[in-house]
């Protein structure tokens, strides 16, 4: 996926976050996919999206949202 496509997908993702009726698990899974694609391109994942990922993990799986995020590889 090209960089511009990733940016568009992130924009759509952020709109979905604001839509409370959105399935949170589906949103989490798509966010993880997009972050992994970003990392695969060798780009730094946006910090706010890494925070969102951790918040969704805490909400869905009961993990601590304050745990250190996994390093970008």
Specify if 73 maps to a domain.
Answer: no
Q: What is the mean pLDDT of the chain?
A: 79
Specify if 72 maps to a domain.
Answer: no
Q: How many helices (H) and strands (E) does the chain have?
A: 3, 0
User: Would you say residue 64 has pLDDT above 70?
Assistant: no
Q: What is the mean pLDDT of residues 13-33?
A: 80
Q: Which domain holds residue 34?
A: 3-61
Q: Which has the higher per-residue pLDDT, 46 or 68?
A: 46
User: Would you say residue 48 has pLDDT above 70?
Assistant: yes
Specify if 67 maps to a domain.
Answer: no
Specify if 47 maps to a domain.
Answer: yes
Q: What is the mean pLDDT of residues 23-51?
A: 88
Specify if 69 maps to a domain.
Answer: no
pTM score above 0.85: no
Specify if 70 maps to a domain.
Answer: no
Question: Could you give the number of structural domains in the chain?
Answer: 1
Specify if 20 maps to a domain.
Answer: yes
- Distance CA(4)–CA(65), nearest Å, equals 29
- Distance CA(17)–CA(20), nearest Å, equals 7
């Amino acid at each position: 996926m090209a960089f511009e496509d990733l940016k568009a997908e992130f924009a759509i993702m952020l709109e979905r976050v604001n839509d409370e009726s959105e399935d949170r698990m589906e949103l989490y899974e798509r966010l993880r996919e997009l972050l992994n694609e970003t990392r695969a391109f060798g780009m730094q994942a946006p910090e706010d999206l890494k925070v969102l990922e951790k918040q969704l993990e805490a909400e869905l799986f009961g993990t601590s949202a304050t745990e250190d995020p996994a390093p970008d590889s």
